[in-house]
Amino acid sequence: MADGIIKKLSEDVVIFIFFRLPVKSLMRFKFVSKSFFTLIQSSTFINLYLYNTTTSRDEYILLKRCFIQENNQYETILSFLAGGDDDYLNPIFQDLDVTHLTSTRNCDHDQLIGPCHGLMALMDTQTTILFNPSTRNYRPLRPSPFGCPQGFHRCIQAVGFGFDTVSNDYKVVRISIIYKVDYDDEYPVERDRKFEVYDLGIDYWRELDNLSQELTTFCVTHCSQMFYKGACHWIASLDIDAYIILCFDMSFETFRSLKIPESCHIINGPTCRLALVHDTLTLIYYPYPEPEIPVEKDLINIWFMTEYNVYESWIRKYTIRGLLIDSPLTVWKGYLLLYQSRSGYLMSYNLNSNDVREFNFHGYPKSLRAIVYKDSLTSIPRESEHAKQVYKF
């Protein structure tokens, strides 16, 4: 009967109707008829659905948080949230315990990166989990095979996830520092830097050589990365107070840098966080979390780069004073700054009305990560017969 109905409707009408449905509802139509199943599974429809024009009402929040257990191990929880006209956040799924997929030893070095063509990556120093938050499919990626010789220690500086438009493939990047182990030296001596890339399509890790020395002697700050304009972006320092935005082009596998509008300082602050607001590169400067913050430092500045890669286009859009913040997370709907408070709760600050709201979500200090995303049907590639299977949360 359903096949008869779809034959009477043009494909354009069916697609128009399906575009208005969330993925959760759309999945039910796959089993209504063969015609619906074929349409929804087609790469053309998946791409059209991904890039369909949406509004802020179609946006969701993926929240990651950690809790410390009695054995000093960390539990990791993912929460899938949606908001209404009242700007409040409500769960759309039950919380997911993903502790078994991540490190339990720490909670401040893991990253939640994306979305990139509908997919996200949950990464720490050892593991990478690629997943689609809408379909709730995930795939653990093959661990990096590269270690270091006996007597040396490898420290992961930065991780990234993005898409190579030339090879039409997803990639993961890891930047590591190799230290000589010397138990008599308080400060270990850096001996080498390693740059690794993982190609999802062939399920293969490789090391990069012949990179620019000028931009490979940096220190990347944690929790300050994103994929934008075909490149991974990190906040990095070449000196104690000489900060830049470090960029790694996923297609050409080269480094470059962007100047930032204000100075940062690794010890006394301010520190800064990358964000995207209305598809514009954004920097959020906020005070270093001290027990008491001097009045002259107690402010948050939000800068927009209105023309990408043009230093002169930086404009300071907002200045906020007196907001007790542990770390900013993201900007939702273009005007709601989401952040973790010093008490560990998820909070929002309305950039238009200056209203502050506390949500009923909390976690260990500095463990919250939040990403704004929209529904997608993007599947997780599995090209190699030796690649790990795709599972469902």
Which domains does the chain carry?
11-48 (no CATH), 56-392 (2.120.10.80)
In the prediction, which pLDDT does 37 show?
A: 75
The answer to whether residue 1 scores a pLDDT higher than 80 is no
- Between CA 286 and CA 264 the distance in angstroms is 10
How many Å apart are CA 10 and CA 39, to the nearest integer? 12
Which of 47-56, 102-111, 153-162, 351-360 reaches the highest mean pLDDT? 351-360
* Top-confidence residue, 305 or 24: 305
CA distance 171 to 203: 10
Percent of the chain's residues with pLDDT above 70: 81
pTM: 0.88
Secondary structure class of 41 (helix, strand, coil) = helix
Closest CA to 232 of 124, 113, 137, 122: 113
Q: How many CB atoms lie within 10 A of CB 80?
A: 19
Quickly list DSSP for 66-122.
Answer: EEE-TTS-EEEEEEEEEE-TT--EEESS--EE-GGGS-SS-SSS-EEEEEETTEEEE
Amino acid 13: pLDDT: 63
Q: Does the pLDDT at position 355 exceed 60?
A: yes
- pLDDT for 217 beyond 60: yes
Contact 130, 200 (CB under 8 A): yes
**Contact 124/132 with Cβ under 8 angstroms?**
no
Neighbouring-strand partners of residue 77: 65, 97
CB-CB neighbours of 9 under 10 Å: 13
